[in-house]
Amino acid sequence: MRANPIPHYLNIFPTGQIPVPVSIGDLPLSTYIVSYDTLTEKVVNHLQSNVLIPGVIVVQGQRLLGVIPRHKMFERLGRRYGIELFLSKPVGDLLLELRTDMFSLKCQLHINTAAKLALSRSQDGTYDPIVVEYDDGSLALLDMYVLLLSQSQLLSNLNGVISSLNNIETILASDTPGRNVLELILESLRLVTPYHEAEIIIQKNSSYESLEVNEHVTLLEDPLRANNIYRSVLTMSQPFSIEDVRMAPLWKGVHASSNTRSWMGIPVSDQNGIVGLLALSRFSVSPFNNNEKELAQVFARYINTFLINLAQQAERKYIYNKMF
């Protein structure tokens, strides 16, 4: 057999960079679904032409019948009389023959939780693909390899957080840290507390005029008066999270994408006290856990330092202009 010179994960993630998923619904999934009366030969040809598809979902109308994993399909067809018995027959016959246990998970499930549940299956089905169910009723198939690869990447990100924090501290300690330090802080935060959208909402101030062009920053005249959600974050001076914003009657008026489902706000401050909040949005109902809240607070403190530095720079510039 000729060895494939390209690592398998580069076929799934061509850039070599594994994106940080919020939930299993963000992972690369297969939507190959066939009716139970589809000829097995047609399914075989499709899987042979698309080597990254982990299997096939078999349905009868709107009813889910089961899943045939790629490796089990070809294993059975390769056994004695496999081709003669099944290739020209409906794929439903092969599904009945294999009797594979179907395993399904909701799309908003966290990566680590999904991996733990998937690995708790019986030994025979541990590495079978997983059916992912979306809120609208649609289905997709997740390769266990992709799930475990993503979990490994998340663990690697967590182990590398110290390096990221050191880089941020070095930049903040410089005399003139650039505005792109905010991007570095938010990207480093995303690695350990995945989100779909981040926004820094702060009170409008002459010290922060340079941030108006930053896509991640929104300047408000008075964040406290913007809405009750912001007021809760700023008055409690601690993270405030919402599991599902569609169930929150006070959500109206929050600066966030219409796709937001789970949300968290973390207060940020400068030398004069709290001036706004860091808002993180997820587009699936994937609530932020306590570890993620604590990590977000750590990165919020770096935003605090950045704002203090920015205010001090503005003050020095004002004094200089006044003198000269």
Which amino acid makes up residue 127?
Y
* Mean pLDDT in residue range 115-143: 95
Domain that holds residue 133: 8-154
Domain identity same for 123 and 194: no
* Mean pLDDT in residue range 310-324: 70
Percent of the chain with pLDDT over 70: 90
Place of tokens 């009797």: 99
Domain identity same for 80 and 215: no
CATH number, domain of 50, equals 3.10.580.10
Domain identity same for 180 and 265: yes
- Rounded Cα distance, 47 and 43, in Å: 6
Total of domains in the chain = 2
Domain identity same for 150 and 164: no
pLDDT at 14: 56
Domain identity same for 189 and 233: yes
| Residue 188 placed within a domain | yes
pLDDT at 292: 94
| Residue 16 placed within a domain | yes
Domain identity same for 135 and 165: no
The closest of 234, 255, 235 to 245, measured between CA atoms, is: 255
Average pLDDT, the chain: 89
Domain identity same for 123 and 173: no
Say which range, 64-68, 116-120, 221-225, 257-261, has the weakest mean pLDDT: 221-225
The closest of 13, 54, 61 to 31, measured between CA atoms, is: 54
| Residue 40 placed within a domain | yes
CATH number, domain of 318, equals 3.30.450.40
* Mean pLDDT in residue range 225-238: 89
- 222 token code pair: 């008075």
pLDDT at 15: 54
The closest of 177, 113, 122 to 150, measured between CA atoms, is: 113
pLDDT at 3: 39
| Residue 275 placed within a domain | yes
Domain identity same for 241 and 221: yes
Residue-wise pLDDT for 181-209, tens only, equals 899 999 999 999 999 999 999 998 888 88
Domain identity same for 180 and 316: yes
**292-293-295-298 Cα dihedral, nearest 10 degrees:** 170
Taking 80 as the threshold, does the pLDDT of residue 18 lie above it?
no
Taking 50 as the threshold, does the pLDDT of residue 1 lie above it?
no
Domain identity same for 193 and 262: yes
φ, ψ of residue 321 to 5 degrees: the values are: -65, -35
| Residue 177 placed within a domain | yes
* Mean pLDDT in residue range 150-172: 87
Provide CB contacts within 8 A for 125, sequence distance 6+.
100, 101, 103
| Residue 1 placed within a domain | no
Domain identity same for 18 and 139: yes
The pTM (predicted TM-score) of the whole model is 0.86
Domain identity same for 255 and 233: yes
φ, ψ of residue 264 to 5 degrees: the values are: -145, 140
Domain end among 132, 154, 176: 154
- 292 token code pair: 């993620």
Sheet holding 217-220, edge to edge: 217-220, 197-203, 273-282, 262-270, 240-242
Domain end among 136, 154, 172: 154
| Residue 2 placed within a domain | no
8 pLDDT band, cuts 50/70/90, is low
| Residue 3 placed within a domain | no
Percent of the chain with pLDDT over 90: 66
Domain end among 97, 130, 154: 154
